[in-house]
Amino acid sequence: MKQQAIIGIDIGTTSTKAVAFSADAKPLFRYAVEYPIDNPEPQHAEQDPALIFDAVIASLKNVIRLLSSSGYTLEGVCFSSAMHSLIAMGKDGKPLSNCIIWADARSAAQAANLKRSVIGHDIYLHTGTPLHPMSPLPKICWLREVQPQLFNQTAKFIGIKEYVFYRLFGEYKVDYSIASATGLFNIFTLGWHQDALEMAGITAAQLAEPVHPGYTFRNMDAVFAQQLGIPNNLPFVVGASDGCLANLGSDAVCEGDAVVTIGTSGAIRITADKPATDLKERIFSYVLSPEKYVLGGAVNNGGIVLQWFKDNFYGAEAKAAKEKEEDIFELLNTEAAAVKPGSDGLLFLPYLLGERSPHWNAAARACFIGVHYTHTRAHFLRALMEGIIFGVYSVGVALEQTMGPVKRIFANGGFTHSDLWVQMLADMFQVKVYLTETSEGSALGAAILGMHTLGMLEKLEDAGKLIKVQKTFTPNPQAHLIYRQNYALFEALYPKLESSFNQLSSVKSINKPDVV
């Protein structure tokens, strides 16, 4: 008798991953396809939606092939996706723009104007999405003001997941979870928010139809079904956002449980039975399902900062490691571990790509503070890693003020491959941090949601029986004291530097003069 399997597919910022899981949530096969982020101008961050669609097809095709040759029966596929993307679609169903992703900051002025307005604050209280250039609402406002011709030609404003499903099934649908991160969706009524639509200058008809995360597509386009080697009526569950599904995939569903994800960016999130907003507009409130909400905050600067440091300051070592088929990040961890907690007084503000929560300032800039003659490259590396953890902790503080103390943390994302980095997290929060058997929390969360939708799992709460803790990190009291001292300085620096950040962001590059 063949065993059941389900695929959780995670459309991320830099890659799409398809992961097959057995009925008891054990990972079976994984395949990932990477793609670039285009930065044609400062503040721009775009991707080719066709490349991402091809990555979805390629990752699915390879995992389906591996399942088939191993004797498993594929019951269905469920999707996780990064949030906040925007694609302008023409009447012919073809993109008029690239996919503008969360890191794009060109709508900073529109977001700032909204944030300063009474109507903007009211929109936040209804949608749960902080007013920041990451989200589609200010992005659409920017298109209307700066590219009116493109705006007027647009038939649908959609995200990357809607684009994938439109090409596969010919329907414009968006799950409540992705919709709740647009700034256009009322998280209390589960429908498009009229005031936000009017602010954007669009109608509900120009957006995809909101559907339950368990909404199931069938009747795939025959060409793609044949390409994937599946029957065209195989269930494809629309799923939810990567952040919400990371909580489900970690079994962080109890009061005081938090999930910290650090991949390209980072986030800390808790699960609640109802939505909540913060009068200071520091946190988000997104939908996992009509019965479950995920509250928290995301930071722009996670692993992408370490990647930047590696590319620019460990270039020779990275090249040598590649030639020897060694992992350059093992060298980075070894060097950082040789420096004491606190980096001998060197602090790093990690705002390389501006910042989302808790500052919501696209103009924020990264900087090292306290540089001394005795500091080495390893000090800068460790300070960078600590600074990213400080950034996540600052969101945790805002979250605790709204929802109560964090009692334990489940960690996932690429940073879990570094014990040193995860230990920093435990030391900073002074709570135990748990790693589950798979670091692919969002893909597993998608698989669990798919299993529940397809009748393989009776209740979402039963997922905890399938998720096992692989490793536990216990906080070090001495390191905690050092980090708290450094964090107090870290927290005090931002308001002192904010005006300087804003001035620096307005300085134009001498390498790209204005075209007259």
The 10s digit of each residue's pLDDT in 390-422 is 999 999 999 998 888 999 999 988 899 999 999
Task: Find out whether 150 and 97 touch, Cβ atoms under 8 Å.
Answer: yes
User: Is 63 a residue whose pLDDT tops 90?
Assistant: yes
Question: Looking at residues 180-203, what average pLDDT do you find?
Answer: 97
Q: Which DSSP string corresponds to 343-398?
A: GGG-EEE--BTBB-TTT-BTT---EEES--TT--HHHHHHHHHHHHHHHHHHHHHH
Q: Say which range, 127-136, 269-278, 485-494, has the weakest mean pLDDT.
A: 269-278
The whole-number pLDDT of residue 2 equals 74
The whole-number pLDDT of residue 508 equals 61
Question: Looking at residues 256-283, what average pLDDT do you find?
Answer: 89
Prediction pTM value: 0.83
Half-sphere exposure (CA, 13 Å, Cβ side) for 253? 19
Residue 469, helix vs strand vs coil: strand
pLDDT digits (tens, 9 = 90+) for 86-100: 999 999 999 999 999
| pLDDT bucket at 441, cuts 50 / 70 / 90 | confident
For the chain, domains (ranges, CATH) are 3-298 (3.30.420.40), 299-403+416-436+471-504 (3.30.420.40)
312 contact partners, CB below 8 Å, separation of at least 6: none
Question: Looking at residues 261-272, what average pLDDT do you find?
Answer: 89
Residue 79, helix vs strand vs coil: strand
pLDDT digits (tens, 9 = 90+) for 315-351: 999 999 989 989 999 999 999 999 999 999 999 999 9
Mean pLDDT, rounded, of the chain: 93
> CA–CA separation, 292 vs 496, rounded Å?
38
The whole-number pLDDT of residue 264 equals 87
Bridge-based pairing of strands 257-262 and 408-412 is parallel
Q: Would you state the structure tokens that stand for residue 319, as one six-digit string?
A: 């090249």
88 contact partners, CB below 8 Å, separation of at least 6: 95, 96, 97, 143, 150, 151, 153, 154, 156, 157
> CA–CA separation, 89 vs 69, rounded Å?
38
Task: Find out whether 220 and 195 touch, Cβ atoms under 8 Å.
Answer: no
Residues linked to residue 98 through DSSP beta bridges, in sequence order? none
- The number of beta carbons lying within 10 Å of the beta carbon of residue 145 is 13
